[in-house]
Chain A
Amino acid sequence: MRVSRKAKQMSPIEVYKLLPKTNCGKCGFPTCMAFAFKLVQGAVEVDKCPYLSDEAKSLLTGMTAPPVALVVIGRGDKAVRVGGEKVSFRHEDKFYNQPVIALELNDLMDMEEVENGLKKAEEIAFERMGQTLKVNALALRNLSGRAEPFVRLVELVKDSPYPLIVSTGNPSTAMKVLNILKDERPLLHGAVLRNLMPMASLARRFKCPISVKAADWRTLLAAVNRLRGIGLHDIVIHPPGETLKEVIESLTIIRRLAVDKKFERLGYPTITFPGDLKSNVPEPLRTSAVMTRYSSIVVVKPEALRFLRPVMMLRQSIMMDPRAPISIKPGLYEVGEPTPESPVLVTTNYALTYYILTEDLKNMGVDCYLIVVDTGGLSVACSIAGDKLKPESVKRVMEETGIADKVKHRTLIIPGRAARLSGDIEDATGWRVLVGPLRSKEIAGFIEKRFRQNKT
Chain B
Amino acid sequence: MVIGATEPEGGSRGYVVEAGGAETLPFYTFEGLNPRPVLALEVYDCVEPLPSFLLESYRDVVSNPVEWARLVDRLEPDLVNLNVRSISPTVLDRSPRDALKTVEAVLQATRRPLMVTGIMDPIHRDDTARNMEFLRLVAETFKGERLLIGPVTPEAFETVAEAALANGHNVLAKTNMDVNQAIRLNELLVEKGLTLERIVVDVTTGALGYGVEYTLSTMERFRIRGLKGDRMARSPLIFFASENLFIRELENGESGMASIYEASSAVAGLMAGADIVSMLHPESLEKVRRFIDEFPWRGG
Decide whether A and B assemble into one complex: yes
> Per-position contact with A for B110-131: 1 when CB-CB < 8 Å, else 0?
0000000000010111000000
If A293-B271, A307-B256, A311-B264 touch, whether A281 touches B212 (CB-CB below 8 Å) is no
Cβ B30 vs Cβ A314 within 8 A: no
**Given the complex, which residues of A lie within 8 Å of B3, measured CB to CB?**
none
B146 to chain A, nearest CB (A): 29
Answer whether residue A396 sits at the interface, using C-beta atoms and an 8 A cutoff: no
Q: Is B176 an interface residue, CB under 8 A from the partner? A: yes
Q: Is the interface of A mostly helix, strand, loop or mixed?
A: helix
Contacts of B224 in A (CB 8 A): 89
Give B255-298 interface residues, CB cut-off 8 Å to A. 256-257, 260-261, 263-265, 267-268, 271-272, 287-288, 290-291, 293-296
**Nearest CB in chain B to that of A416: its residue:** B123
With known contacts A313-B249, A352-B209, A420-B125, A249–B268 Cβ distance under 8 A: no
Min C-beta distance of B185 to chain A, whole Å: 12
B178 at the interface (CB under 8 A from A): yes
B residues 196-224 near A (Cβ < 8 Å) are 204, 208-214, 216-217, 220-221, 224
In the bound assembly, the distance between CA atoms of A331 and B290 in angstroms comes to 49
The answer to whether A279 touches B268, judged by C-beta atoms less than 8 angstroms apart, is no
Known: A313-B208, A318-B216, A386-B178. A280 touches B293 (CB 8 A): yes
Assuming the A-B contacts A252-B28, A282-B260, A317-B213, are A309 and B249 also in contact, with contact meaning beta carbons closer than 8 angstroms in the complex? yes
Q: Of the 9-residue stretches A32-40, A96-104, A284-292, A443-451, which lies at the interface with chain B? A: A284-292
Stretch at the interface among A54-62, A113-121, A240-248, A366-374: A240-248
Q: Is there an interface contact between A317 and B208, defined as CB atoms closer than 8 Å?
A: yes
With a cutoff of 8 Å between Cβ atoms, the chain A residues found around residue B178 in the complex are 386
B50 to chain A: closest CB distance in Å?
16
Chain B: minimal CB distance from A305 (Å): 12
Question: How many angstroms between the C-alpha atoms of A252 and B29 in the bound complex?
Answer: 10
Q: Which of B209, B291, B293 contacts A313 (CB 8 A)?
A: B209
Interface residue total, chain B, C-beta cutoff 8 A: 47
Q: Which of A350-392 contact B (CB under 8 A)?
A: 352, 356, 379, 381-382, 385-386
Residue tally, chain A, CB below 8 Å to B: 46
A245 touches B208 (CB 8 A): no
**8 A Cβ contacts from A396-442 to B:** 416-417, 419-420, 438
Interface residue? B107 (CB, 8 A): no
Q: How far is the CA of A280 from the CA of B293 in the complex (A)?
A: 9
Interface string of A189-201 (1 = CB under 8 A from B): 0000000000000
Min distance, Cβ B126 to any Cβ of chain A, angstroms: 10
Please determine whether A310 and B257 come into contact, CB atoms closer than 8 angstroms. Answer: yes
A314 B208 Cβ-Cβ under 8 A: yes
Residue of A nearest to B296 (CB): A245
Complex Cα gap A252–B27 (Å)? 9
Q: Given the known inter-chain contacts A252-B28, A314-B208, A381-B121, please indicate yes or no for A245 contacting B294, CB distance below 8 A.
A: yes
Q: Which residues of B are interface residues toward A (Cβ below 8 A)?
A: 27-30, 121, 123-125, 153, 176-178, 204, 208-214, 216-217, 220-221, 224, 244, 248-249, 256-257, 260-261, 263-265, 267-268, 271-272, 287-288, 290-291, 293-296
Contact sample, A vs B, 16 pairs, CB 8 Å cutoff: A89-B221, A90-B216, A90-B220, A248-B27, A249-B30, A281-B287, A282-B263, A285-B267, A289-B267, A292-B271, A307-B256, A310-B257, A310-B265, A314-B208, A320-B213, A419-B125
